[in-house]
Amino acid sequence: MRKILALLLLVTLTLTFPALAQDDANVVSQWATTAEASSEYGDVANSAMQATGAPNTMEFCSDSSAAWASESPNEIATLTVYYGVAVIPTEINIYQNFNPGFISAIRLITLDGEELELDSKGEAPEDCPGVHVVELEGVEDAVVGVVIEVDQTDLNSWSEIDAVELVGVPVAGTIASQWATAAEASSEYTPEGWNAMQATGAPNTPDCGDYTTAWASASSTEEATLIVYFDVPVIPIEVNIYQTYNPGAITSVEMLTVDGESYEFEIDPDEAATECPGILSVEFDESDVLVDAIAIYLDQSLTGSWNEIDAVELVGTVPGETLDLSETLEFEGFSINYPDSWVTTIDEGDVPVLATSDEALDRRDELNEEDVLINVLLPNVMEEQLDLDPTDDIDAILDNLIANAAMEGEVEEYDLLDNPAVIARVTGEGIVNDSTIIIVEYEGGNVAYTIESGAPFEAFEPLIVGILNTATYEG
């Protein structure tokens, strides 16, 4: 990291891991949203994805195509399941519909991608179908996935898994992506197929068409409303609506908050008419409300037939103390908010610095997992010290900054900030820490942020986004 340290006058900012809710009332349970396996019996039937969502084959003890099964009946196989909300876990419940009792090991996947093997593999069920229960104590890491190893060598048959439930406390400041868990509608075509609950869970409609696995209203040309509910209230970023038949009838989307307030967003007809199947994405700019439900309004006279909805995904930030940015640093037209527990300084070379402690600055060459490094390069620093033109397009500035520092990185648009921005994850000789550069366009000019962390950038991204979204620069 020596080259970028010398060139950019980098300084260290330490962030504590996002604050955790401690009340048992904040415990949530969630089903896996995606999965993979070391082997699987089929591409669809008995595939790893059959272990996502809620249990659907637990009525009888039987070999079912709706559960995951390995390719061979006598192998050691692993099933890995992932979740949309990072939690400090308290329990794992593994639903087995055929030959339970052969789970040989369980590992947790943390937010930074590490695997933690559990000392205990939990308690196997006595009956079939049954639930293999793993109670967890003392886990301090945020978890987003579970690896389950099944040893079938002595069984010589399949030990199948229908669903895996993860229970825990959501981690404040992390970005959650969750599917609706409950739904209601102004009308539905039948109480079973095409009912409102078909819009819950991950998408499961195979193609564009009139399928019972998506919600449809009673009439093909009526005005209708679908309301979907989510387990974890979040500060919303976007909602993604999966349309599988005759897209184009959605006229508005309404955020429903935990306080009973609502914020309605009108939808342009051209945007509503996605491909089929297609995803209508709606971005939100209300950064201080907590949302746990979404209302979708349709006028199907616009399409002349049913506009069916298969699933609704809500993406947002889990609230917590890490978003309380009550102090302000101001310097030469630049202003940014930060938590009151941090310290600030102006480093040599007129570089504004924020840090949680003076001691954190000593670890700048090789950061610990809990550390993040951020410093702010104002236009005059870029021009006078780095020989960059701060009036260039932000993607050109980032390209030149990467080239001048003898690093490698791919410039991408970054739409999580309120202002236009580009981002690059950078690598290079001597770089020890996870390194990221973000260029942001403000009214007074372009500002560069250099960010390093001991853990991957994504682990701290919600907090960094929260901080950068308070920044202004008037030149």
Q: How confident is the model at residue 163 (pLDDT cuts 50, 70, 90)?
A: very high
- Do 242 and 343 fall within a single domain? no
Which of 139, 170, 201 is the last residue before a domain boundary?
170
In which residue are the tokens 């197929």 written? 193
Computed over every residue of the chain, the mean pLDDT equals 88
Residues 291 and 189 in one domain: yes
Q: In the chain, what percentage of residues exceed pLDDT 70?
A: 93
The mean pLDDT of 278-283, rounded to a whole number, is 95
Give the pLDDT confidence score for residue 5 in this predicted structure: 27
Same domain, 110 and 156: yes
- 120 and 89, same domain (yes or no): yes
Q: Tell me, yes or no, whether 411 and 453 share the same domain.
A: yes
Query: Domain holding 459: CATH number?
Result: 3.40.1000
For residues 327 and 447, membership in a common domain is answered with yes
Shared domain check, 241 and 100 = no
Q: What pLDDT, on a 0 to 100 scale, did the predictor assign at position 306? A: 97
**Are 184 and 311 within one domain?**
yes
Select the more confidently predicted residue: 366 or 379.
379
Residues 371 and 351 in one domain: yes
CATH number for position 131: 2.60.120.260
Model pLDDT, residue 8: 34
Question: Residue 254's domain spans which residues?
Answer: 178-317
Same structural domain for residues 429 and 338? Answer: yes
Residue 328 reports pLDDT greater than 60: yes
Of 317, 343, 360, the position where a domain reaches its end is 317
Which of 317, 349, 370 corresponds to the end of one domain?
A: 317
What pLDDT score does 322 carry?
A: 45
pLDDT digits (tens, 9 = 90+) for 172-227: 888 899 999 899 999 999 998 999 999 998 898 989 999 999 999 999 999 999 99
Same domain, 135 and 222: no
The structural domain count of the chain equals 3
**pLDDT at residue 383 greater than cutoff 90:** yes
The verdict on 253 and 390 lying in the same domain is no
